[in-house]
Chains A and B, each alone.
Chain A
Amino acid sequence: MARSLLLIGTSGTGKTVYGGQLLGRLQLGLGAMSLRTEPDTIEPLFDAWQSLARGRTPPRTARGTYKELVLPVSAPGLGPVDLVWPDYSGEQISDVVVRRHIPDAWRERVVGADGLLVFVRPKLVKQPIDIITRPLPEIRSAHREAEEPPPAEVVEGASTAWASQADLVELLQILLYLRSESGVRRIANLPLSLAISCWDELPGSLGASSPREVLRTMMPLLDEYVHATWEDGSASVIGVSAQGRSLLPHGVDEAFADEGPENQGFVVQPAGQRTPDLTWPVVDLLARAK
């Protein structure tokens, strides 16, 4: 039977890299999930896999692109599934929140989804520093001196990227609205996996924490929203590092290519155990979507 995963992530969250690695694992038979038969086409993700095999970061999916790949897969305990895997540019997700309207095609995907896999890359989420976390006596003078603000201070680590916790909560609220979920009851029929992507980028001790602890520490509003909105067991937080490490920003990362992308990357399961099986998030989500 066909199952559709709604893969949600803004631009740069690693959807395409993960998709390329997932295809690589399936092609080489390295994971709990395997191909039953050869897919008619693997093109949307083949380029990404090939880029990684060459030691290059896959190019971002072009704006406006939306392609679907049907992967005939099976996994222990799951049975045969035709997995519909989307490949698209993340701007389409940003547009939903910013422009406040949802194209019919996206609405149909949301309504037809069996599970929700959301990629959140902490590095791209604004970690605002405010006067609760960083109180300042200067605010007094800033207030008194009216129009002319004091010279700006550059805050290390502050990002001007699109996403904030509030944007991500808003996005999930919009998706649930499209599925006619009023919010009165907690969600049980649309399992959610919230994947902290590019896990290898996490600073210091956070990388040794469980994914839920990372979410709670870095995005507490999103964490509370998800767990107050989905039924216990219907939402899980995982970590994904599709490449295992960053590639050299320019040119070819020969060491990565020599080792092979299939030998790199890992998933952090909800309780904190690591597995190199990059098919695990999909198997877990599909199992919960039964």
Chain B
Amino acid sequence: MERQCTQDGCDAPLASCNAGFSPMRACPHWVRARGDHSDQKDSDAADAHLVPWPWGGLGRRDIDAIASRSAPHLIGVVGLPNEGKTTLLSMAYLHLSMGGSLSPDRFAGSLSLGGWEQLAQPLRWEPSSPPRFPPRTPRAAGRFPSMLHLGLRGPADTLRDVLLTDAPGEWFARWSTDRNAAAAEGARWIVSAADAFVLVLDSEALSGPDRHDARTQHAAMIRRLGAEAAGRPVVAAWAKAEREIPASIRSGLETLLAGMFPERFVESVSVYEQEMRTRYLPLLTRAFSAPRQRAGVPAEPVTAADDPFLAFRGR
């Protein structure tokens, strides 16, 4: 059995060394861990160079490597719980992997390919299981969401890095009604750091038995984002659009959207409708192709001084 590092919270050699050492034999915690009963596998691992990004979504520590090569374009994917944020990301990736276009850019890699694959897997036909919707993003405390990365090669051969957040809807539900709530810390970070937003609206909830609650919750979220987006681009998606929202509810929210985001782009998406199935990727492309308009000063409490990610982006 492979030995684990003795440092709390470090998953080396399965994940990159927490202390940043590669090869791992340079790490004092690793050396201590393999001090007894050393075997061949330990030697192999200790002589190995670790891949410095995970086979999964990116965490806080992983994005520094991207921020050091370019100022990444951060897209905040905003929506209430179970609205379809993860499905939106999954469908966009499926389309990309089947030849969907990122025009005018081209796909130049991703340091979160494992994360994209894990999101998309439930939507694939496998011999042992039919497609299902991706599981809900786990509710988690904390400040940093899981992020998905795309490297984009532009028409002039420039490289751009895009990060998309995959955060639990509970963060945004709390933030909608209490911006300073402790449980909304992650939402505050996303909103302060994002260059643009994808706002997901849930046609199923807005047409279902709890549609009246859904209406007020959506209105609160739209207003909150409108107050904080400060002119940054917003792309809105009516998700699960195979469901028909009662006209009065829909028109009320459309009016609110128009008031809050005069320059918005709105699209309907659904996994069930042939034509709407291929709109997910263009929708995301629209979000990260919009001209970059950073908010002047990130809303407190996140500042460039205490957030290395924002400091990198300020270059």
Contact = CB atoms under 8 A, between A and B. Distances in A.
B129 interface: yes
Contacts of B52: 177
Contacts of A183: 69, 108-109, 151, 159
Nearest to A102: B49
Contacts of B69: 182-184
A128 interface: yes
B224 interface: no
A184 B47 CA distance: 28
Contacts of B109: 169, 173, 183, 225, 228-229
Interface stretch (A48-56, A159-167, A241-249): A159-167
A137 B272 CA distance: 7
A129 B124 contact: yes
Contacts of A177: 51-52
B49 A143 contact: no
Interface stretch (B27-35, B88-96, B251-259): B88-96
Contacts of B15: 100
A250 interface: no
Interface residues of B, number: 55
Contacts of A149: 129-130, 132
Interface in B11-38: 13-16, 23
A107 B120 contact: no
B159 A158 contact: no
Contacts of B49: 101-102, 104, 107, 178
A251 interface: no
Interface string A164-208: 111001100110011000111110000000000000000000000
A142 interface: yes
A140 B94 CA distance: 18
B123 interface: yes
Contacts of A225: 107-109
B126 interface: yes
Max count, chain A CB within 10 A of own CB: residue among B16, B113, B157? B113
A7 B123 CA distance: 34
Contact of A131 (B55, B94, B108, B110): B94
B127 A160 contact: yes
Interface stretch (A23-31, A32-40, A82-90, A216-224): A216-224
Interface in B137-162: 151, 153, 157, 159
Contacts of A174: 51
A170 B127 contact: no
B272 A142 contact: no
B223 interface: no
B133 A220 contact: no
A140 B272 contact: yes
A186 B133 contact: no
A131 to B, nearest CB: 5
B192 to A, nearest CB: 27
A130 B124 contact: yes
Contacts of A166: 97, 113-114, 116-117
B212 to A, nearest CB: 22
6 contacts: A100-B13, A100-B14, A142-B131, A149-B129, A174-B51, A186-B157
Interface of A: 96-97, 99-104, 107, 128-140, 142-143, 149-150, 152-155, 158, 160, 164-166, 169-170, 173-174, 177-178, 182-186, 216, 220-221, 224-225, 227-229
Interface of B: 13-16, 23, 44-45, 47-52, 54-55, 69-70, 91, 94-99, 106-111, 113-114, 116-117, 120, 123-133, 151, 153, 157, 159, 271-272, 274, 277-278
The 6 closest A-B pairs by CB, nearest first: A101-B48, A220-B99, A228-B106, A228-B153, A129-B125, A228-B108
Given A96-B51, A131-B277, 4 more contacts: A129-B124, A170-B114, A220-B97, A229-B108
